[in-house]
Chain A
């Protein structure tokens, strides 16, 4: 499969990335080379192959339902450039 400029730009927008024309050109070339490499998968019969997801552990460990407050909340919030008192302020949300 090969992708055109518009498809790559659309994927970029989906990832909230705006590319310059030069970046787009490079990205399209890269992605198409990359997809060509992945086209090798078609040589394999993968129909009955089970996906590899986790080598171990076989089951997700579970935590007991206990409250343990994080001690450095203030330090964490101080890292936001958008902090407004106790809240985080963001500009207008368009759509939806």
Chain B
């Protein structure tokens, strides 16, 4: 009975691998393009670990690491070293991974999340270090999984891609917090430009260290869960592990310290049969100390854009946007920058925000690229201004917007082709249209003039036709007046003629 009173507090640390965005690999000049390249084409003696080959560090990798480190609020080390981390695996060409593991480029970072009560909480980041990726293994099983595969194939295109490994302190208390942590972290890293962090392309991978603190003072051993490639997998794996360990501890048993693998298809973690690596490190003798002087650091810091949280606060404060609108706009740096460019071009912030949130994001979600969006910020600002000044109706503006998105035409062209007239149809233009409609519908006119349209239905019908002719760019009251006037004239004419 006492068991029911036991409570367990999860203690979770997250390790994240992020592929840094560079043209060439970390230690050689091979292309990083794994998407379009055929297997084993972007390889050379260095990333294949050939005898005699030596590493040559890519400046951009260091810079991207610095940017990511700054985005995570960390402190940069001015001098670091690379190490050789030895183990054997067919995807690891040299028999060791070259990694900054013990002397990372960034330390003491943090990311803010909300705790279970909605209060802000800092998840501390122990460090970020640079290292190389390994080759990609493909297994002979139907579903491509390692289990049961009697042969595997190696593609070394990925070998030597630049990675940043980010290690958090065990400050995460739940799967939800873990997801918020990695979501916020991902957003900031993407903002910094250090990585595209595209999860579907495997640019961000997670491991989690999960243990439980029991209310009776017991403390379970740490279990490392590996192999999560999505936020959802991270969340499920942590929840699974918490439940598994809770059950073990509730039964009075102890949790084994081990490495477990997340099996996404089965939704379980499974124990690893291999024992821990012999921890074998030496200083990489082929790479002298990596020095980041203050001048370089300052230059990179100047490249770091405003981060999403600060942006969001500014939108709410200075642009009077709602919290929701600000949050969505700042989720992606590209969208935020598009929005800001619109505002800078004179678009009224709130109306511009609405347009970006609805019309622009709709197109982006349908696969349109924001960086090459056919409606330039200047054009959108122009459209928004015309609406604000009541020169265009919203319907007109949307028609023009859609036309540009579809055809990529200029604003002037789109306005002309959509047949919208600045300020709508009034005066003689409108009278012309009405006259045309009456002439095209003599039978309806006859009915009205003969007094059969007692309920005014036929008049409404004519008004509708006029509206259609102007493609919505006339105002209804104007149309009503114009039709009435024209009917008066027609009545006078017909009365006169019949009377004569």
Contact = CB atoms under 8 A, between A and B. Distances in A.
12 contacts: A14-B280, A54-B288, A69-B30, A70-B45, A76-B43, A76-B48, A86-B40, A87-B138, A87-B155, A88-B154, A92-B151, A93-B139
A93 B90 contact: yes
A87 B285 CA distance: 31
Contact of B90 (A61, A84, A90): A90
A17 to B, nearest CB: 11
A67 B57 contact: no
B274 interface: yes
B40 A73 contact: yes
A52 to B, nearest CB: 10
A53 B289 contact: yes
B278 A87 contact: no
Contact of B154 (A66, A70, A90): A90
Interface in B148-197: 149-156
B50 interface: yes
Chain B contact residues: helix, strand, loop or mixed: loop
Nearest to B41: A73
Given A60-B290, A73-B40, A66 B23 contact: yes
A56 B288 CA distance: 8
Interface string A48-64: 00010110111111111
Contacts of A11: 278
* A16, A86, A93 pick with most chain B CB within 10 angstroms: A93
Given A53-B81, A62-B58, A62-B62, A67 B154 contact: no
A86 B154 CA distance: 9
B230 to A, nearest CB: 20
B90 A60 contact: no
Contacts of B22: 65
A65 B289 contact: no
Contacts of A92: 149-152
A60 B287 contact: yes
B319 interface: no
Given A16-B88, A62-B59, A90-B154, A69 B40 contact: no
B45 A87 contact: no
Nearest to A57: B288
Interface in B53-100: 56-62, 81, 88-90
Contacts of B48: 76
B216 to A, nearest CB: 34
Contact of A87 (B29, B31, B40, B57): B40
Given A53-B288, A76-B50, A89-B152, 9 more contacts: A53-B285, A60-B57, A65-B61, A68-B29, A73-B44, A88-B90, A93-B146, A94-B273, A95-B273
B30 A67 contact: yes
Given A53-B81, A59-B288, A69 B59 contact: no
A5 to B, nearest CB: 17
Contacts of A69: 29-31, 42, 44
* A11, A60, A90, A94 pick with most chain B CB within 10 angstroms: A60
B31 A67 contact: yes
A87 B39 contact: yes
A93 B92 CA distance: 13
Contacts of A54: 285, 288-289
A60 B291 CA distance: 7
A91 B22 CA distance: 33
Nearest to A55: B288
Contacts of B41: 73, 86
A63 B28 CA distance: 9
A91 B154 CA distance: 11
A57 B289 CA distance: 9
A28 interface: no
B91 to A, nearest CB: 9
Nearest to A71: B44
Contact of A65 (B45, B58, B89, B285): B58
A77 interface: yes
A60 B28 CA distance: 14
Contacts of B156: 88
Contacts of B30: 67, 69-70
Contacts of A66: 23-24, 29
A73 B24 contact: no
A8 to B, nearest CB: 13
A54 B261 CA distance: 40
Contacts of A61: 56-57, 288
Contacts of A77: 40
A61 to B, nearest CB: 7
Contact of B289 (A60, A76, A86, A95): A60
* B23, B150, B154, B261 pick with most chain A CB within 10 angstroms: B154
Nearest to A14: B278
B58 A63 contact: yes
Nearest to B33: A67
Interface in B384-398: none
B268 interface: no
A76 B51 CA distance: 12
9 tightest A-B CB contacts, nearest first: A70-B44, A65-B60, A68-B29, A62-B59, A95-B274, A59-B291, A87-B153, A14-B278, A86-B39
